[in-house]
Amino acid sequence: MLSNKKYFEQPSQFTDQEWQARIDLAAMYRIFAYLKWDESIYNHISLRIPGDNEHYLINPFGLHYSEVTASNLVKVDLAGNIVGHSAWPINPAGFTFHSAIHDKVDNAHCIMHVHTTPTLAVCCLEEGISYSNFYSAQIYDKVSYHEFEGITLHMEEGQRIIDSANGNPILMLRNHGPVVMGSTLAQAFSLMWLVNRACEVQLASMSMGKVKEIPEDICRQCTADSLPLNPKYGAGEDVFAAMKRIIEKQDPSYKQ
């Protein structure tokens, strides 16, 4: 366990808001690693810097999620240019659609993209998400789909991704993996948790036979009642705090 308090001191080049955002985002990367939602050095979580709509933070390309810290997160502008010093580049696929969404979707302060086996598998199904379990019922009217165009390296696909989302916070990139957009880091995490669990249960139930779909009116009510998504109940802040406590006990170096 680290004991040197200076190890966690805020560098002078960051405002209080940016530094707290860096700490929280670094913690989220460690949470993803803990949950096995990481994908080697690939995939991305990005977060708008509070009070600054022109810049966002993203992981340094080349580091595993377990190596991400507050200070090595990369500050990027909406054109994908690194702002300030970074010892690491960013993954080009990490700004193709992240920058477009951050630029044009007002409430998309946090964007998450994963390739977990259950979510990617469901993205490969013609029918997509099945509204047949407790988790999928909570995201009934929040999911859209985008047809596969290959590796997301071409900037012009960014607008098409936004168009496909059509205002929904969950976008299933067909044959690729999910993208979630949250008004906060915690809300995006709650959405990704629901998507991942929905897909895990769907694959398990499909392996046993024909699944029983939940009636539409019940799904709509479940989505309306879903506490993890409701700002009145913190929109996942309590869950995020609990997961951060686990990471803190394991390795607090994310705050460096």
pLDDT tens, residue order, the chain (256 aa): 444 455 578 888 889 999 999 999 999 999 999 999 999 999 999 999 999 989 999 999 999 999 999 999 999 999 889 998 899 999 988 778 899 999 999 999 999 999 999 999 999 999 999 999 999 999 999 999 999 999 988 888 999 999 999 999 999 999 999 999 999 999 999 999 999 999 999 999 999 999 999 999 999 999 999 876 777 766 789 999 999 999 999 999 999 9
Residue 8 lies in a domain: no
What's the domain range around 161? Answer: 13-255
Return the pLDDT at 102: 94
Residue 25 lies in a domain: yes
Residue 139 lies in a domain: yes
Residue 219 lies in a domain: yes
Return the pLDDT at 3: 45
Residue 7 lies in a domain: no
Domain count, the chain: 1
Contact (CB, 8 A) for 76 and 18 = no
Return the pLDDT at 8: 72
Return the pLDDT at 53: 87
Residue 3 lies in a domain: no
CATH code at 43? 3.40.225.10
What is this structure's pTM?
0.93
Return the pLDDT at 72: 97
Residue 170 lies in a domain: yes
Residue 167 lies in a domain: yes
